[in-house]
Amino acid sequence: ELLEVSKSRRERARNEAKLQRHMLRIKIGSRG
């Protein structure tokens, strides 16, 4: 159970990082 929880948490963190990078790229692209 604990393993599954940590796995899902890690996946969510990775998704959030990907989303943040995507938003950053959009911000930079819209500026320049």
Transcribe 1-32 into DSSP letters.
Answer: -HHHHHHHHHHHHHHHHHHHHHHHHHHHHHH-
Q: How many residues does the chain have?
A: 32
What DSSP character marks residue 5? H
Nearest-5° Cα angle at 11, 26 to 2: 155
- Tens digit of each residue's pLDDT (9 = 90 or more) over 1-32: 688 889 999 999 999 999 999 999 999 888 76
- The confidence score (pLDDT) of residue 32 equals 64
Q: Could you tell me the pTM of the whole model? A: 0.60
**What pLDDT sits at residue 5?**
85
**Given this model, what pLDDT does residue 7 score?**
92
